[in-house]
Structure 1
Amino acid sequence: MSTPVVLVAGLHASARTATVDRLLEEHSGSVAIHHDLRAVTLDRVRRVVRDRTGTLDVSEVRLAHGCVTCTVREDLLPQLVRLAHTATLLVVDLWDSVEPRSVAEAVDCDDARDVLRLTSVLTALDAEHMPVDITRGDRLSEAGKQAARGDQRYLSEVLARQLEYATGLVLHGDDEEDAELSRAVLAHLAPVTPIHPVTALPRLTGAALCTAELAERVDPGTAQLPCDAQDDEITTVVWRRVRPLHPTRLFEAVDELVTSSVRSRGRFWLATAHERLLAWDAVAGVVSVEDAGPWLAALPEAAWETVSPARRMAASLDWRPITGDRVQHLVFTGPDLDRERIHDLLDSCLLTREEERAGPDTWARYDDPFAPILDLKEIA
């Protein structure tokens, strides 16, 4: 029988350690494994294995190339398979800036599926730091949390992915005001993900997760985006339209859209990229715009069978007789957002009725400031 595996992600070791300690205490025979990546730029990783009684093993792992992928492939998976024969539960304590998706998909592989079954992906959060961390525009290297040589990611970017991919969030901290604010922020950023105190963790030894389904929760074409919401301190604004965006007008609006909100994401339709679903992903003033593949309406019907059921379902919900599944669906979250201003600004970026009537052949000739940068992560 396969051994359950739980991933515990999070920027702060104190919150992760409290969560892992609780899991080890509650599950007799469980074992935790952690790879310390502080020296990863020197191609060295420190592996620590422990159980409820203390440390079982500390080893230095030398890698051919210092990165998370190498660590998972060359050391984590073999160690999990080895430990699975004696452990009742395996807990993977991920380094601060490791995003759980790549590790989850590595664990959920054909070669290990008979031995390991991924049952939960938790992100442990420090209630004092989380509301500030999601607004921080500094790079991981500046915070000493990089996961590879040349790691150029931003701290807030990693936190957003840790939050949105997780199947459960664990809140650590004794201050009730901190916890209340964190819960309010999380209700906007990850509204359907359950939040647990460290003292009341969910059942973690059940059926295996499907990582393909986890990916569909966050991938642009199928993402479960937040709805319009507002409370005393935080606002989430949803903007949905079915006309294409003018590339120059949108580009000129990017700075205001990104700096006025803390987190924004979604999919959009640019007139000059009529056939392509574009993904918008921004946090703490840093925005990424990427090509996420064709709209379903741009594919021949025979090719739809190659697309996942979730993608076809998402497309069907947006479907219009002429435009198909092409849609503007962007979501912005931040303190006291001006919903009317965001709607007016984005509406002003849409093609006018006259421009729309000109059709895709004319749109394709528009100047497009996005064209040279669609393959780049950072555009503002």
Structure 2
Amino acid sequence: MNYILKNGDGLKVAVIVNDMSEVNIDADLVKQGGFSRTEETLVEMQNGCICCTLRDDLMKEVERLVDKGNIDYIVIESSGISEPIPVAQTFTYIDEELGIDLTKKCSLDTMVTVVDGNRFWEDFSSGESLLDRKEGNDEHDTREVVDLLIDQIEFANVILLNKVDLLTEEDAKELELVLKKLNPEAKIIQTIKSVIDLKEILNTGLFDFEKASQGAGWIKELNTDHHTPETEEFGISSFVYRRKRPFHPERLMTWLENWPVDIVRTKGFFWLASRNDMAGLLSQAGTSIMIQGAGEWVAAYSEAEKQQTLREEPELLEKWDDTFGDRMNELVFIGLEMNEEEVISTLDHCLLTDAEMQQDWSAFCDPLPKFTVQS
């Protein structure tokens, strides 16, 4: 943020920050006549996460700055605990309650994520929640640090891999390739003290909400027949595990409890025998593993709803099974020095056997946490 303010390339930049103390704006900039000297405006927003409790305030502040005029660009520094999608949505819809339509006044140009290269693996494997770090919105904010880290990486247009001066050249390159695997669409730039040609992050025209929503590496891997080959030099690889047979809940639980350490990121849908009508969503990053309901399988719909859905989404028929419909396991795995064969064989062991396929699936012991359905 300091670098943008000092090197505006002639742009009149307004800056919205969540917390002045978090951003630590250079005191000299304030001392030298504040931001009027370079015609920049600093707006401090306090009392919570910019994308949650302050969303209304954010919309009002952006509208005020735009209507006031005399600025070329607004830079929003959201909190480190902000989820990026709600911030982006602020600029893509009309708030009828507030009577604000930012789509007519400005557009979201670039989503930038700064990755601390020196702390990345420490944060990734810490297993800490925001509460552990005393950074949560309140005592009920149990989100894990690594989940936020991955969310911000997977939704970015530009990723600045910062503090590379504290890494070996090999470690920096390895981390860059991991980030590329997590978000193939993002432009990744190695930086020291976030020094960057501002043309790389301002007025880029890179942001597209639909494209960003589908940009994560796991989505790309799931939706394409083209498999990205392993980066041999660093052993970074990925694959999709697909099986048209359900998991046994007890064996899957045991597998999850003994998660292979070489798997960096996993996401996808799974079929659990004891919950035959509901698709499961598995999301893993580092030590964080979450499962939740992803809605009913289309095969579990009423006959009328099923036929209507298949007419509207004929691509479902490509993978449709005569007996089980669209039920299947589709999980993307991204890893470092990952033993793909072992992951596949141990997961195959979690599938129902031929004999179990003939049994009453609802009678199986199911120790997995209950599904909460995505809102």
TM over 0.5: yes
Which deviates more, 125-134 or 226-235?
A: 226-235
After superposition, the Cα gap between the structure-2 partners of 1:31 and 1:95, relative to the gap in structure 1 and judged at 3 Å, is same
Q: Are 2:38 and 1:53 aligned?
A: yes
Q: 1: CA distance between counterparts of 2:179 and 2:341?
A: 23
Q: 2: CA distance between counterparts of 1:123 and 1:368?
A: 39
Q: Are 2:363 and 1:365 aligned?
A: yes
Any idea what SS the aligned residue of 1:160 has?
helix
Structure 1 gaps of 5+ residues are: 1-15, 40-48
What residue number does 1:82 align with?
A: 64
Residues 111, 157 of structure 2: 8 Å contact kept: yes
One-letter identity of the residue aligned with 1:101: I
Q: 2: CA distance between counterparts of 1:80 and 1:306?
A: 43
Q: 2: CA distance between counterparts of 1:38 and 1:153?
A: 22
One-letter identity of the residue aligned with 1:84: V
One-letter identity of the residue aligned with 2:92: D
Report the structure number with the largest CA radius of gyration. 2
- What's the TM-score, normalizing by structure 1? 0.75
Residues 233, 335 of structure 1: 8 Å contact kept: yes
**Alpha-carbon deviations, 1:82-125, whole Å to 9, x = none?**
11232322221111121111211233221322223223322122
- In the TM superposition, what are the counterparts of 1:109-120 in structure 2 within 5 Å? 109-111=93-95, 112=101, 113-120=103-110
What residue number does 1:12 align with?
A: none
How many residue pairs match? The answer is 340
Shift of 1:345: 0.8
What residue number does 1:191 align with?
A: 184
After superposition, the Cα gap between the structure-2 partners of 1:334 and 1:216, relative to the gap in structure 1 and judged at 3 Å, is closer
What residue number does 1:46 align with?
A: none
Q: Are 2:16 and 1:33 aligned?
A: yes
One-letter identity of the residue aligned with 1:161: D
Any idea what SS the aligned residue of 1:367 has?
coil
Q: 2: CA distance between counterparts of 1:243 and 1:275?
A: 14
After superposition, the Cα gap between the structure-2 partners of 1:125 and 1:219, relative to the gap in structure 1 and judged at 3 Å, is closer
Residues 262, 285 of structure 1: 8 Å contact kept: no
After superposition, the Cα gap between the structure-2 partners of 1:313 and 1:233, relative to the gap in structure 1 and judged at 3 Å, is farther
Which deviates more, 267-276 or 343-352?
A: 267-276
What residue number does 1:5 align with?
A: none
- In the TM superposition, what are the counterparts of 1:205-354 in structure 2 within 5 Å? 206=205, 209-210=208-209, 214-217=212-215, 223-225=219-221, 227=227, 229-231=230-232, 232-257=234-259, 259-300=261-302, 303=305, 312=313, 315=316, 318-354=319-355
- What's the TM-score, normalizing by structure 2? 0.76
Which deviates more, 154-163 or 67-76?
A: 67-76
Any idea what SS the aligned residue of 1:292 has?
strand
Q: 2: CA distance between counterparts of 1:140 and 1:54?
A: 36
Q: Are 2:126 and 1:136 aligned?
A: yes
Any idea what SS the aligned residue of 1:343 has?
helix
**Alpha-carbon deviations, 1:163-184, whole Å to 9, x = none?**
1122332222343444312212
- In the TM superposition, what are the counterparts of 1:92-107 in structure 2 within 5 Å? 92-107=76-91
Structure 2 gaps of 5+ residues are: 23-33, 96-100, 191-195
After superposition, the Cα gap between the structure-2 partners of 1:185 and 1:216, relative to the gap in structure 1 and judged at 3 Å, is closer
Q: Which has the higher strand share?
A: 1
Residues 173, 179 of structure 1: 8 Å contact kept: no
After superposition, the Cα gap between the structure-2 partners of 1:60 and 1:320, relative to the gap in structure 1 and judged at 3 Å, is closer
Correspondent of 1:72 among 43, 46, 54: 54
Q: Are 2:153 and 1:163 aligned?
A: yes
Q: Are 2:357 and 1:374 aligned?
A: no
Q: 2: CA distance between counterparts of 1:208 and 1:308?
A: 32
Residues 16, 42 of structure 2: 8 Å contact kept: no
Shift of 1:206: 3.5
One-letter identity of the residue aligned with 1:189: L
**Alpha-carbon deviations, 1:139-171, whole Å to 9, x = none?**
223345434443222211110111112233222
Q: 2: CA distance between counterparts of 1:349 and 1:137?
A: 26
Any idea what SS the aligned residue of 2:113 has?
strand
Please, what is the CA RMSD of the aligned residues? Answer: 3.7
One-letter identity of the residue aligned with 1:56: T
Residues 318, 327 of structure 1: 8 Å contact kept: no
Q: 2: CA distance between counterparts of 1:244 and 1:67?
A: 40
Q: 1: CA distance between counterparts of 2:37 and 2:269?
A: 45
Any idea what SS the aligned residue of 1:117 has?
coil
Residues 269, 281 of structure 2: 8 Å contact kept: yes
Q: 1: CA distance between counterparts of 2:59 and 2:249?
A: 45
One-letter identity of the residue aligned with 1:32: V
